[in-house]
Amino acid sequence: MNYTGEKCVVCNNVFDDESDVVVCPECGAPHHRACYKKENRCGLYENHAGKIKWERSVNKTVIIEAPKTENHYTESETNAENDFHDERFNITEDEYLFSEKYLGYNPNEDIGGATLKEAAAFVKSNTMYYIPIFKKMKDMGIKMSFNILSLLFPPFFFANRRMWGWALLSSAISVILSMPAALMMIIDDNLQNGYQMFTENVMNFILSNKTELAFVSNICNFVDLGIRLLFCFLGNRIYYHFVIKSIKSMKSRGISDKDTISSAGGVKPLSMIAVIAINFVFIMAALFIMSFMLEFTAMFLR
């Protein structure tokens, strides 16, 4: 398709016959390839939310093509007819128009047992963050990347992404490591407010070993920080394996349609409420077990 006489929406310079033109798949706006790469997005990105299409000034025909990166289409390779179909990628026009979530990658590229298209359907939200990470993990063997949510709230991150095994494990670890500090807070609160949560034997035992308990509490805090850092840098890797394993499991049962894969993945914010309830149960159970163990220890050492 000839864009001679039209203007690049980034630099506003007129295209000539030798211009290397790439076109936004969302709105159809033409760019110099260098301009698109520099901006790393469409020059009319603000119009996408309103579904506003770019219109030609020379010839009022809207053409939608993909920007050229390693796996994108060139201007000459684009078929502008309504029955658009590209055999290399084997994707429909609808998938092509919304290919922004693939970020220029081949949607049918295998990333370890699932295609990018399947992984994007499963991830559902925030694909612009996860898809490049997944591709690097497959192509370059990268194992670590930064995930702030899995640093601050590991159980919330795992539960929100439907990784319940990891959510329960991280919750249990967090509760166990917080017990020494929680125990010291409870004892101090008991003494200040004049009530007694534990038996007299347990209270006396804790007070007589308060220095040692403070030391254990500090050790647990350092261990907790170390585990959070592990989750921070390995959380995306864990999620990558979860996505691939889940998709492969569905495909082995004959499930391959996009809607079913998408419904099995995505995020589930209400899971965070379940995590809070689970943490409460863990804390109560841990306090009960610790109280019993301290009572037994106090009686044994008396």
pLDDT above 90 (res 102) = no
Question: 178: pLDDT confidence band, cut at 50, 70 and 90?
Answer: very high
Q: What is the mean pLDDT of residues 211-223?
A: 93
Q: Answer yes or no: is pLDDT of 60 > 50.
A: no
Measuring CA to CA, which residue among 53, 43, 51, 93 is closest to residue 73? 93
Residue 1 has a pLDDT of: 64
Position 236 scores a pLDDT of: 96
**Crossing angle of helices 210-252 and 127-140, rounded to 10°:** 90
pLDDT at 86 over 70: no
> Which CATH architecture does the domain made up of 1-77 adopt?
2-Layer Sandwich (3.30)
C-alpha to C-alpha distances, 163 to 61, 275, 278, nearest whole angstrom: 47, 12, 14
Q: Identify residue 226 by its one-letter amino acid code.
A: G
Query: What is the share, in percent, of the chain residues with pLDDT greater than 70?
Result: 83
- Which residue shows structure tokens 């309830």? 277
The helix or strand, by DSSP H or E, that contains position 85, with its residue range, turns out to be strand 85-86
User: What burial class does residue 300 get, using C-beta atoms within 10 Å of its C-beta: 0-12 exposed, 13-18 middle, 19+ buried?
Assistant: exposed
Please tell me the predicted confidence (pLDDT) of residue 194. 61
Per-residue pLDDT of 239-287, as tens digits, reads 999 999 999 999 999 998 888 999 999 998 888 899 999 999 999 998 8
DSSP for 153-179, written as a single string: -HHHHHHHTT-HHHHHHHHHHHHHHHH
Q: Where are the domains of the chain?
A: 1-77, 148-301
